[in-house]
Copies of this chain bind each other. A is one copy, B any other.
């Protein structure tokens, strides 16, 4: 089983400094819709600040119970997969899953796409995505494994987290 985590701390800024990023409405929508399309039942939005989780909660409430639930019932269904958490530790405890960190850069010993595809059939894996300029190195260190990057053509490798997540899930669970 695949579980997804969208991580807002600790992430990097463009100078490699650790930062906390803001939750964005668009990420919640795009992530939830990909998850539901591929049968993923749990999407954790990870943010250390209560105010930010409350904001996410209000957006989710709009689609689950507010105007949005009547305006677009299909969107409601997608939002049902979302869970809120203050930290990755909290998610690890709640899921007991094997945590795999994603990155645009290759790290020694990274699992291949085929590895993760096979693993997801036997085990609960928690696939985490960093916002900003990606997950902080210490998250990569603490993860149970890392995943090889999405390689395109040529040296440019700067996908949005929304695109990276969609492609990753399709590679692991698609077709």
Least Cβ–Cβ distance between A98 and chain B, in angstroms:
20
Minimum C-beta distance from A162 to chain B (A): 5
Interface residues on chain A, number (Cβ under 8 Å): 37
The stretch among A49-57, A88-96, A137-145, A167-175 that forms the contact with chain B is: A167-175
Whole-angstrom distance between the Cβ of A84 and the nearest chain B Cβ: 21
Q: Quickly give the copy total for this chain.
A: 2
**Contact partner, A166, options B33, B75, B157, B159, Cβ 8 Å:** B159
- Give min CB distance, A5 to chain B, whole Å: 17
Q: Is A36's CB within 8 Å of the partner chain B?
A: yes
With a cutoff of 8 Å between Cβ atoms, the chain B residues found around residue A164 in the complex are 166
A167 contacts across to B, CB distance below 8 A: 166-167, 170, 174
Q: Which residue of B lies closest to A40 (CB)?
A: B153
Residues of the B chain whose Cβ atoms lie less than 8 Å from the Cβ of A171: 170, 174
3 closest cross-chain pairs (CB), A and B: A39-B153, A37-B152, A163-B166
| A interface residues with partner B (beta carbon < 8 Å) | 14, 26, 29-30, 33-34, 36-39, 72, 74-75, 77-78, 113, 150-154, 156-160, 162-167, 170-171, 173-175
Q: Known pairs A74-B156, A163-B166. 13 more at Cβ < 8 A? A: A14-B72, A30-B160, A30-B162, A33-B163, A36-B152, A39-B152, A39-B154, A74-B158, A77-B156, A78-B156, A163-B163, A164-B166, A167-B174
